[in-house]
Amino acid sequence: MTAPLLVLSVPLLDIGLAIVRRFIHGQPIFAADRAHIHHKLLSMGVTPRRLVLILYGICGIGAVASLMVTVGPERNRGFVIVLFCLAAWLGLQHLGYNEFGVAGRIVLGGTFRTVLSAQLALEAFEREVRADMTLEECWDVLCRTSPQFGFSGVVFHLDDVIHRWGTNTGWQARIEFPERGYISLWRESGAKSEGAAAVLFVDCVARSFNEKLSNLEAVHQQ
């Protein structure tokens, strides 16, 4: 099965790159774009005639590698396949597919673990606030969770519950709850946690406490 894959390496590789690339960008897989292999080569100044010759040459190398795998000594087959894959990987490095480098750093550099941990913390926070808890108990949850997202201080002023925690320096995200009060989250400049996660946390706090206040008002009216 390796032989036909080597012969069709260019179209198969182009299709695979297009699917992964569009998935990373959140685009429809079947949507057209100008980031195929031949588009990349054209953007590098390669003329159409030279581009065709390059692609023909790569396909020819793939055909030769396929023949070597098929009729060559069995002990050399693994070496041929590894050498061809290495050459393909080196070639892709020069085409400027930056999204794959970023995705690799996210997966291998610990960013993926950080994002996953933040998402789990957000879901746990939202689940606790939505539970049957008083505003005092929600305040405790907020103080316990805020440092995970780089916030060093919280001002909590909802209904008759007023609390302050931490250091109120740096910049703040103030969440207004009309006629009920506000929550201010303070974050010092240069905080080590991911800024994107902090924004998600602010949005989660606004959404969770809006729902909590609505539920408390409904219970009070009953």
- What are the residues facing 175 on neighbouring strands? 183
d(CA 140, CA 176): 19
Q: What's the token pair of residue 212?
A: 């909590």
d(CA 133, CA 136): 8
> Helix, strand, coil: what percent of the chain each, to 5?
65, 10, 20
d(CA 4, CA 152): 59
d(CA 85, CA 62): 10
Q: What's the token pair of residue 32?
A: 């057209």
pTM of the model: 0.59
Nearest partner of 154 among 187, 195, 121, 199, judged by Cα: 187
- What are the residues facing 42 on neighbouring strands? none
Category of 55 on φ-ψ map: left (φ > 0), alpha (ψ -120 to 50) or beta: alpha
Q: What's the token pair of residue 156?
A: 């909590």
Q: One digit per residue, pLDDT tens: the chain, 222 residues? A: 777 888 888 898 899 888 888 887 788 888 888 889 899 889 889 999 999 999 999 888 888 888 888 887 877 888 888 888 888 888 888 887 777 776 666 666 666 777 788 888 899 999 898 888 888 899 999 999 999 888 999 999 998 889 999 988 888 999 999 989 999 999 987 766 667 788 899 999 999 999 988 888 877 776
d(CA 75, CA 58): 24
